[in-house]
Amino acid sequence: MTADPKRLEDATALASLDPGGMIGLVAGLGSQLRSGFELGRSVEEPPSGEGVRSIAVCGMGGSGIAGDILRSLFSARLPFPIVVTKGYELPEFCGRDTVVIVSSYSGDTEETLSAFEEGVRRGCRVVSVSAGGELGSRSASQAVPHVAVPKDIPVPRAALGYLAAAPIGLLDIMGLVPPAADDVARASESLDSLAPSLGADVPAEENVAKALAVWLLGRTPLIWGSEGLAEAPALRWKTQMNENAKVPAFHALLPELDHNDVEGWSPSTGTPYGVVVLRHAAEHPRIAARVDATFDVIAEAGLEGREVSAPGPDPMDILFSLIMLGDFTSTYLGLARGIDPTPVPVLMGLKERLRR
């Protein structure tokens, strides 16, 4: 099917191209956040938070990003590190004083199961999060505390609200993060209000996500965030562009990108790309100057950019609003390209091949 931005204004075309209901799923982020937080807080017999010296979050792709979100939200405010491990092994320092959160929506991801076994073997304070699968079974048989998230979501990345908020709830009851209930409630309400303005029935001239998707048609998305709160959203935008819109996409972070990327934007290299810059009220005061200066010094590259800004001063609100905007934008980009955003046949085919 050919790309056609007009498709975004045709409710029947959108519904028939989105049988998995991705538009509705991304709109439900606020409600998932609320439920996920409560699920995390209700885990039976969580490990003690006494003497914890580090937190490691293990998981891949749409599940592993829960770790990036925790880092973006809390790492600047905690007296110990949060590390995110996306692979088979745990860092050497992980031991009895490490909380290891193992996250896999399917529960069957081989790298994540390997990290789970490693955490149990080393006596780490392991807690798992899944919608069943092997991780659910192994947690039950090895008496590892487990958060069971709903099984009825068609793909892991559409369960982000559960996967991200369950660890926040868990760390909240363990006393390892500042009390988060009010922040979660406020962020969820704010997402509930944001979602209708980005909905399928709102035309592109009033809908930031549709307008961005139309602009990105035919360009390769580059997502620029800034250190801290916009880090995880920048990664999420990139991965959602890959999986929902089925396009290559890349992300980079300020201020770091001013120390390498800028040199690569030599004259005329920018035209096939479109930069989306994720901005927010809590970013470091030097970021505004850097965004302007960066575009100035690479002007001859012909790289075009658009900015999106998260409402509100609350960190959780900012982070999840940026994520919701990217989730909608990537979904509309897929639909404008004539692609069903939900299935990921290449990724699933690769898993199947490696299983044989």
* Residues making contact with ligand PA5 (CB under 6 A): 60-63, 104-106, 109, 112, 155-157, 243, 344, 347
The DSSP secondary structure of 276-298, one letter per residue, reads EEEEETTS-THHHHHHHHHHHHT
The nearer residue to ligand PA5, 18 or 243, going by C-beta atoms, is 243
Determine the Cα–Cα distance for residues 131 and 216; give it in Å rounded to an integer: 34
Q: What is the DSSP letter of 54?
A: E
For residue 349, the minimal CB distance to ligand PA5 (Å) is 12
For residue 69, the minimal CB distance to ligand PA5 (Å) is 14
Q: Which residue of the chain is nearest ligand PA5 when measured via CB?
A: 61
Count Cβ neighbours within 10 Å for each residue of 95-123 and write b for 16 or more, e otherwise.
Answer: eeebbbbbbbbbbbbebbbebbebbbeee
Determine the Cα–Cα distance for residues 272 and 39; give it in Å rounded to an integer: 44
For residue 109, the minimal CB distance to ligand PA5 (Å) is 3
The nearer residue to ligand PA5, 72 or 130, going by C-beta atoms, is 130
CA distances from 253 to 108, 220, 224, 250 (A): 31, 17, 5, 11
Determine the Cα–Cα distance for residues 309 and 330; give it in Å rounded to an integer: 17
Alpha carbon of residue 163 to chain centroid? 10
The nearer residue to ligand PA5, 62 or 228, going by C-beta atoms, is 62
CA distances from 129 to 44, 99, 187, 206, 275 (A): 13, 13, 22, 38, 34
For residue 166, the minimal CB distance to ligand PA5 (Å) is 13
350 burial level (CB within 10 Å; 0-12, 13-18, 19+): exposed
The nearer residue to ligand PA5, 106 or 294, going by C-beta atoms, is 106
The nearer residue to ligand PA5, 112 or 139, going by C-beta atoms, is 112
For residue 63, the minimal CB distance to ligand PA5 (Å) is 3
Q: Token pair of 343, please?
A: 């299935």
For residue 116, the minimal CB distance to ligand PA5 (Å) is 11
The nearer residue to ligand PA5, 277 or 324, going by C-beta atoms, is 324
For residue 334, the minimal CB distance to ligand PA5 (Å) is 14
The nearer residue to ligand PA5, 112 or 330, going by C-beta atoms, is 112
